[in-house]
Structure 1
Amino acid sequence: MKILTSDFFPSSIEGRLVRSYKRSFNGFAARLTESERQRVAEMEGVVSVFPSMNYKLHTTASWDFMGMKEGTNTKRNLAVESDTIVGVLDTGISPESESFSGKGFGPPPKKWKGVCSGGKNFTCNNKLIGARDYTNEGTRDTEGHGTHTASTAAGNAVENASFYGIGNGTARGGVPASRIAAYKVCSGSGCSTESILSAFDDAIADGVDVISASLGGVTTYMYEKDPIAIGAFHAMAKGILTVQSAGNSGPNPTVSVAPWILTVAASTTNRGVFTKVVLGNGKTLVGKSVNAFDLKGKQYPLVYEKSVEKCNNESQAKGKIVVCSYAIGSDVAVAFIFKHKTEFATVSPWPISFLSLEDFGSLISYINSTKSPKAAVLKSEAIFNQAAPKVAGFSSR
């Protein structure tokens, strides 16, 4: 801060300071001219100066696979787990989720020095013990990503969890007895690097034991110019481990390469979600999607179009199942069947099924074989696959 208050700058610094890092390490984010940036970089004691960047977010039975199964065969020290605080740098958190209920928890560990500053209608408890916001939106999660990552790391065991009845089971984090502190550094527009560094600065001083950061850039930077590497380095100096996702750019390499960061790849799960398509001739094709819409097995006329423009023709789509080579959407169609090569299922606001190239070809052959082709898109079902887990194709390497 001495730099900012000195006579170093030819113009006023007032209003140009964006962030000041001073709780756990020294630094700042400010709006500088190119000449000012160069002068700061040449000053004694300045390790690095780099431009602000916008990082992106990286989107079931993993703990069992790692030998951390629930039950009598797993040795757990609940006293140690309850004293562990996981700081999650993400899109915030949904405090009402059962994964973060404070029921059965005692007061926060004495080492905790953080705050609950989540904004309007946001309440912490003895499980979710802290919240900070760096986006001016409040710590409440409007994206879902932060709630997902926080529950994966340390969510309570929640029985009968499902997506509208699909994939019913018990959802739990790796260390369900631990505490959570949420640091909202990301919004719908991304994750600013100055916010990320501010969150590291606070999380270290607040007393967390582990920092989770499921976000990152698109290219590799030198350690002294990588905000996550910088924050994680200062965390490491205090005995705090930073866990960062490898990224979703597979098969390209990960950009999380600092040796003091534990980088985690994405993996497949031991169950897949599939959506069956039953044709008018009785043949069943198995596609992928997370389809919670139950059309009761009713069959509807099929309309097949080869171009995106024709696929979006609402006059032809109304009351029918649209078959298209491209993923599109319409409020008048009953459902959609797309051609898509994918290894994972996605959620859609419409009943859909993504068929493999081979099955899509079978569907087109059926459509061409009859004057009145019809089909039914069924509600998705979860099918267990014991071949998992393995590194997912989309995971950065």
Structure 2
Amino acid sequence: MALQWLLLLSVICSTLLLVDVTHSSAQGVRKAYIVYMGDKPKNEVPLSPLHLNMLQDVVDSSNIDDIEHEALLLRSYKRSFNGFAAMLTEQEAQKMAGMDGVVSVFPNGIWPESDSFSDVGFGPPPKKWKGKCQGNGNSTCNNKIIGAQYYLASRSFEDEIESPRDIAGHGTHCASTAAGNLLSVAATTINRQFITKVQLGNGKIYEGLLPNIYDLEGKFYPLIYGGDAPNTTAGVDTSVSRFCSQGSIDPNLIKGKIVLCDSPQDGAGDGAILGGAAGVVLTGKKVDDDALGPLSVPASQVGLEENSNIYKYIKSTRNPTATIWKSEEVNDVLAPYVPYYSSRGPNPAIPNVLKPDLAAPGSYILAAYSPSDGGKLAGYNFDTGTSMACPHATAVAAYIKSFHPKWSPAAIQSALMTTAKPMS
């Protein structure tokens, strides 16, 4: 019963499909995101106009009109919590996440074939369950996935996929606010880090971060700096190609080579990967390590000093080479701590509101990934974020509910918040 109750919580937040639509070249790829804003207001204020105004604030009005703004708003939630679902670009979702009143913004979806959704050992859904399995025959429900539903926004979108299937990789962890009616959850690091070594042809070894699941078995590949491989046919120069972003790199110059890139920003390294690079070495600060995840090629992220040393090596020899070793797991003696990407509270606008309520593991969590997003390890991948932390708290809430089925959400919240123990 506890597991079924947990799934019911997940379904609350998993009723929307994750749809890829390209509205225009200026907007880029839009996906369905849920914007969670906490508890519903006690007074009966209309929420849809508020949600629409928030959308208008983050979407570039020069590329979209009022009617299209309304089409982007898929659904306003107002019965169990305050929030809405909307079609947003990644940049718009990040901007929305920084707005006053927004607790979190996250993508939604599910991939039924994942082993994580196997119903072996599960009993049938509760008889009172009235959910449905939607998706034109391509969504498979069972005794664990007891419901899947999508909301069709508008026929004006092209290439719509009428299905709750996840095509962006959030997999098992689409229930970011599965405990949303109970808790707000911060993320913490776990007691392990992944060190990935980059070895140069001169024997020097530099330790980097970013989990690398590929084993080159010590084979050395030609090493090139992204700034030395600009895509000149596209009018790109070294000041741009050094970041190795998509379209900035000449594939003919980097194919089959390990590429040194100057930035860990979103999209860095994509140009090298798409161009056929044998591996990628990104560069960043230590503060960024908690949000890193495996790439689709052997990769590591080194610090600024290590980057400088690798660059000097490239310039010092006619035939620079390197290899990237498979990650080594080391103990993080500082864990658990709340990393930079998660809220620590209190609310800067209302300091007496002490949120989040508690914290749960959220860094480098093994999660099911859909094949369409390049899932590794037979459909699994490491992911990081508060969306990885919330399911842990949800499971604990379900466990408590199994022992105390008549407890209210407030009682469960109180139990979780008042039974913590100091850690060494």
TM-score by length of 1: 0.48
Between the two structures, name the one with larger relative contact order (CA 8 Å, sep ≥ 6): 2
Structure showing the higher strand proportion among its residues:
1
Structure that is richer in helix per residue:
2
Greater gyration radius: 1
> TM-score, normalised on structure 2?
0.45
